[in-house]
């Protein structure tokens, strides 16, 4: 496999979602739910999740699947989530009135989301743990 731009291989695709109006901590919980799953299973998990941000993660995942299908002509049924991570974006700072004429800060954080899909067979969690022990 040869690498192309940004260290992405020929059998990998990626998608971004920037400035999601949720904290990175809450977004990280949803990312942990679907990390390493096949795409069809991850879509089901996100559709039935009660977390509000699951809709944004689902939208980004479907965008990555469309990128794989349209741009790289990869088979959709063999895609799995190779990497998924979130990070901090900007934080809006607002002021709320406090007691005795003082001010209290309100911080409204934003997050960025990156998903990398790979075509092939997803490694199981058991084999990944065995490989870590052998190292």
Over residues 30-57, the pLDDT tens digits come to: 999 999 999 999 999 999 999 999 999 9
Q: What is the mean pLDDT of residues 91-117?
A: 96
Check whether 125 has a pLDDT greater than 80.
no
Structural domains counted in the chain: 1
pLDDT at 84 over 70: yes
**How many residues are recorded in the chain?**
135
Query: What's the chain's average pLDDT?
Result: 91
pLDDT at position 131? 65
pLDDT at 9 over 90: no
Residue 64, pLDDT above cutoff 80: yes
Residue with more model confidence, 82 or 124: 82
Q: What is the pTM of this model?
A: 0.84
Q: Confidence class of residue 7 from pLDDT cuts 50, 70 and 90?
A: confident
Here the CATH number for the domain that contains residue 66 is 3.90.470.10
Residue 47 sits in which domain range?
Answer: 5-134
Structure confidence at residue 8 as a pLDDT band (50, 70, 90): confident
């Amino acid at each position: 496999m040869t690498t192309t731009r940004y260290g992405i291989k020929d059998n990998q695709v990626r998608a971004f979602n920037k400035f999601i109006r949720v904290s990175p901590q809450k977004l990280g919980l949803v990312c942990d739910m679907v990390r390493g799953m096949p795409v069809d299973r991850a879509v089901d998990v996100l559709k039935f999740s009660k977390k509000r941000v699951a809709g944004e993660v689902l939208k980004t995942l479907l965008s990555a699947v469309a990128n794989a299908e349209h741009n790289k002509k990869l088979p959709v049924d063999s895609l799995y989530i190779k990497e998924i991570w979130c990070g901090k974006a900007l934080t809006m700072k607002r002021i709320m009135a406090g007691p005795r004429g003082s001010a209290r800060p309100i911080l409204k954080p934003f997050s960025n989301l990156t998903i990398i899909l790979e075509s092939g067979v997803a490694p199981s969690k058991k084999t990944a743990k065995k490989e870590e022990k052998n190292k």
